[in-house]
Structure 1
Amino acid sequence: MISTPDPRPTGQTTAEPTRLAHLDAHTYRDWAAGEQSTVILPAGAFEQHGPHLPLGTDAILSSTIAEAVASRIGAKVAEPLSYGYKSQQKSGGGDHLAGTVSLDAAALIAQARCIMAGFLQQGVRHLVVLNGHYENYQFLYEAADLALGDLRSAGHDVGPVAPAILLLSYWDYVTEDTLETVYPDGFPGWDIEHGGVLETSLMLHLHPGLVAMDRAVSHPPAALPRFDRLPVVVSRTPETGCLSAPDGSDARKGSLLFEKVTAELAGDLATELGLPAREVPETS
């Protein structure tokens, strides 16, 4: 008999993968049929985050947080929505900046709707959309509403408990106490937290090899009007593309943000969806 070499990397365990992309179809089919099957769908964008952070920051952060949360509640993580709705000047610097490639509303809604409906039609009981790009939110909401309508039209929501979709942005789980620690001189506000301390600190903790702090630029927060103007006035966006500077960012703050967000979020999902909370796996 010819032996086949083990395709798994050295040291990899036989534990069932958290990411659905690493699962075979038959194992997925059996898992999805379970009464508590829950898929977390991360959503991000392909968007500039200044000279020190990667273009995929939003999807990277939402995906990493999703995997940590999934390990606590026995959920699985789908591949992320890596392109998002148009970057806006008052929240992401603007679509005019190099490196930002966006979807329009119709495209994002259609893509998200198909993905959500696909999972639910295959028997997944709960779907959690974990957003990491501010501009996505209302279009993901529309997609979720339409996907549930598709499910009802196809007669897939029969049974004692109808499938549910939960939608949230990870920064909704950053508490006031955490903000006071991360921003000892005062929080500048979510409207200009783009490429600033929060995202930079999280990336320094989770993916330090993707952060170039030697390229980070210190500058005052963007001074933007209370209205949107189209086309944008380019000079109103700082040249870095960041709406606030990453001054004071460090991995310690990122660790605090990450641990607090994942714990609070996992607790909410376990309570809302009736899922068993698990012990956090020890890290080496």
Structure 2
Amino acid sequence: MKNKGIDLSISSFGDVLKNKYNLTILPWGATEPHNLHLPYLTDCILSHDVAVDAAQIANERYGVNCMVMPPVSFGAQNPGQRELSFCIHARYETQKAILTDIVASLHTQGMNKLIIINGHGGNCFKNMIRDLSMDHPDFLIAISEWYNVLPAKEYFDAPGDHADELETSVMMYYHPELVNLDEAGEGKYKPFAIQSLREKVAWMPRNWQKVSEDTGIGNPALATAEKGKRFANAIADKYAVLFAEFAHTNNETDFYENKNPK
């Protein structure tokens, strides 16, 4: 199987023993509705698949061995989402506990580099990572949101931000069997009435049921597998470079330029 030894969800202990790993990749998503045409685990599936592609490229081009963990499916939800059938809200404390246990396990096993590939906009890891850097000073953690690595407008005609043209296109590329575009809602949504919130002078969570009727934000009608492939491949290329750079940096000091400020 192509990705055995890279994708832990299909790897055996025997596959793992063959390799010395430079870093661990942790996809993180959510369990939530994605309009009427995408799976609840869309955020998990896409962050995982992009990460596996990138790990394969990093191995082939740069000789870097990465292990992609199974995706974490517990995401933080907005008001109005938790009431939707089978939408699971994970508190900050829950997510931090999961990440803490993962880091502690990897640290015990002699691994000290982790990159989180986030697929859910409601998740926020920065403070968790700061706390963990105090507990494990020799353990390096980076976080990236895969869908924000490159400008969506350069790849899609009308990207939104949930179950939209972007997510639908990438899912059509990786898993066309999981997408039925004929069933999709239009993804119409109501923006904030307060101008300062629209301009992002301040932030507050949106009440999802008051914002969207089908849980989507952004119309997926223009989605195609070709668009998804182009975007996903470009993201995987960027991540492969990141993985190689992260793997070849030996300690935290090496992350900073060795130059005296003028």
For the Cα contact (< 8 Å) 2:5–2:15, is it kept in 1?
Answer: no
Match of 1:167 in 2: 143
Match of 2:164 in 1: 196
Match of 2:190 in 1: 222
For 1:167 and 1:229, the matched residues in 2 are separated by: 22
* Cα distance change, pair 269–233 in 1 and its aligned pair in 2 (3 A): closer
* Cα distance change, pair 50–120 in 1 and its aligned pair in 2 (3 A): same
Instruction: Spell out, residue by residue over 1:97-147, the C-alpha distance to the aligned partner (whole angstroms, 9 max, x if none).
Output: 33311211111111111112211221113211110011112xx22333333
Match of 1:75 in 2: 66
For 1:249 and 1:133, the matched residues in 2 are separated by: 19
Aligned pair count reads 235
TM-score by length of 1: 0.74
**Matching residue within 238, 246, 263 for 2:212:** 238
Which residue type is aligned with residue 88 of structure 1?
A: N
For the Cα contact (< 8 Å) 1:196–1:244, is it kept in 2?
Answer: yes
Please state how far the C-alpha of 1:182 moved relative to its aligned partner: 1.1
Instruction: Spell out, residue by residue over 1:232-266, the C-alpha distance to the aligned partner (whole angstroms, 9 max, x if none).
Output: 484x2221111111121111110111011111121
Which residue type is aligned with residue 199 of structure 1?
A: E
**Matching residue within 228, 246, 252 for 1:254:** 228
Indicate yes or no: 2:238 matched with 1:264. Answer: yes
Match of 1:39 in 2: 24
Match of 1:160 in 2: none
Match of 2:111 in 1: 124
Which residue type is aligned with residue 78 of structure 2?
A: Q
Match of 2:89 in 1: 102
Please state how far the C-alpha of 1:17 moved relative to its aligned partner: 2.1
Please state how far the C-alpha of 1:273 moved relative to its aligned partner: 3.2
For 1:166 and 1:229, the matched residues in 2 are separated by: 25
Match of 2:130 in 1: 145
C-alpha RMSD of matched pairs (Å) = 2.6
> 3-state DSSP class of the match of 2:229?
helix
* Cα distance change, pair 52–104 in 1 and its aligned pair in 2 (3 A): same
* Cα distance change, pair 265–145 in 1 and its aligned pair in 2 (3 A): same
For the Cα contact (< 8 Å) 1:117–1:147, is it kept in 2?
Answer: no
Alignment of 1:56-67 (within 5 A): 56-67=41-52
For 1:254 and 1:246, the matched residues in 2 are separated by: 12
Indicate yes or no: 2:18 matched with 1:18. Answer: no
* Cα distance change, pair 151–242 in 1 and its aligned pair in 2 (3 A): same
Match of 2:200 in 1: none
For the Cα contact (< 8 Å) 1:113–1:146, is it kept in 2?
Answer: no
For 1:30 and 1:256, the matched residues in 2 are separated by: 33
For 2:8 and 2:96, the matched residues in 1 are separated by: 22
TM-score by length of 2: 0.79
For 1:67 and 1:238, the matched residues in 2 are separated by: 32
Which residue type is aligned with residue 164 of structure 1?
A: L
Please state how far the C-alpha of 1:228 moved relative to its aligned partner: 3.2
* Cα distance change, pair 219–107 in 1 and its aligned pair in 2 (3 A): closer
Identity %: 25
> 3-state DSSP class of the match of 2:212?
coil
